[in-house]
Amino acid sequence: MAGLTCTVHPGAEGVRAAVERVRAVLDGTDSVALVHTTGGEGIGDGLPAQPSIILATSGSTGVARGVEIDRDALLASATLADEVLGGPGLWLTAIPVTGAGGMNTLVRSLRHGHAPVVWEGVAGAGHFDGASVLPALRELRQRADAAGLRAYTALVPTQVARLLSFAGADDRDSVEALHELARLDAVLIGADALSDEHRLALRGYGVHFVTTYGATETCGGCIYDDRPFPGTTVSFEGEDPGRIVITGPTVAHRYRDDDPDLADRRWRSNDLGRWRLGRLEVVGRLDDVVKVGGANVALPLIAAAIRTLADVTEVAVLSRPDSEWGHVPVAFVVGGTTPDASLRQFAASALGRGSMPLDIVRLEHLPLLPNGKPDRQRLLGMVR
Q: What is the pLDDT of residue 99?
A: 93
What residue ranges define each of the domains in the chain, with the CATH number in brackets? 5-279 (3.40.50.12780), 293-381 (3.30.300.30)
Return the higher-pLDDT residue of 34 and 370.
Answer: 34
Q: How confident is the model at residue 133 (pLDDT cuts 50, 70, 90)?
A: very high
Q: What is the pTM of this model?
A: 0.84
Q: Is the dihedral of CA 267, 271, 274, 275 positive or negative?
A: negative
User: Is residue 166 very low, low, confident or very high in pLDDT (cuts 50, 70, 90)?
Assistant: very high
- pLDDT (tens digit, 9 = 90+) per residue, 34-71? 998 876 667 777 778 799 999 998 655 556 789 999 99
Q: What is the DSSP string of 197-239?
A: HHHHHHHHTT--EEEEEEEGGGTEEEEETTEEPTT-EEEEESS
Lowest mean pLDDT among 52-56, 77-81, 369-373: 369-373
Which burial class, exposed, middle or buried, applies to 208 when counting CB atoms under 10 A from its CB (0-12, 13-18, 19+)? Answer: middle
Banded model confidence at residue 2, pLDDT cuts 50, 70, 90: low
Cα–Cα distance measured from residue 17 to residue 118, given in angstroms and rounded to the nearest whole number: 12
Query: φ, ψ for residue 321 (rounded to 5)?
Result: -65, 150
Summarize the confidence of residues 270-284 as an average pLDDT: 90
Taken in order 23, 26, 32, 37, the sign of the CA dihedral is: positive
Contact 16, 118 (CB under 8 A): yes
Largest CA distance in the chain: 64
* Contact present, 30 and 24 (Cβ < 8 Å): yes
Mean pLDDT of 211-218: 95
Q: Which of 26, 183, 46, 154 lies closest to 96, judged by CA?
A: 154
Peptide bond into 241 cis (omega under 30): yes
**Banded pLDDT at 288 (limits 50, 70, 90):** confident
